[in-house]
Structure 1
Amino acid sequence: FVDELATRFQHVWRTFQISYTDFIRTTQPRHKRAVRRFIEQIRKHSPDAIYPSHYEGWYCVLRRPFIPKMSCAMASAPSVVGKCNGCASQHFTSD
């Protein structure tokens, strides 16, 4: 799904002669390395900026957005965004 969208975006940009210096996907190893370095720098210069937290809410498995509570009834319709599952997870956050 995302591979197809990335190709479409690149095609649209070429069509309208929009240039960019780089096109990076979050699945690329160089993106993952850059994120690691970024987080390491944050931890080095501001160690309390990122901390464990808890999230509870709705998440769309198909398109991967977090869904606001008021949108959940609509979002659970398969034709809109796929299956809507409630989730809770521990993750890292910042203010």
Structure 2
Amino acid sequence: MTAALGTIYTLEEAADRLRTTPRMVARLARRYGRCARIGREYRFSEGDLAALWDAIRLPAKEPWAHHATKQQVEQAYADIAAHAKKARDARLAARQALRNRTTP
């Protein structure tokens, strides 16, 4: 047995309610299976819209999650410097090999 449906919305009404485009709502509805289809038309219940809203919400982050530690920053700079040195050494070796090449 299903719960009461409440208000039923068309694709355009659902898009207005979620403040997005009808195309985006249709794509989300297909991805998450939260709609009814009658022919080519989509219909959404209040529960469908709530489920779509929950699906597109960003997860909460810890306040410190987006900050790198000092050691992580230092390691990143060291990795970049090592990569640059390796590329520079390879270029110099290639130039030296060209200079040492004898012409017939």
Instruction: Please indicate, yes or no, whether the TM-score normalized by the shorter chain is above 0.5.
Output: no
TM-score range, shorter chain: under 0.3
Which of the pair has more CA radius of gyration? 2
What TM-score does the superposition give when structure 1 sets the normalisation length? 0.24
What TM-score does the superposition give when structure 2 sets the normalisation length? 0.22
User: Which of the two has greater strand per residue?
Assistant: 1
User: Which of the two has greater helix per residue?
Assistant: 2
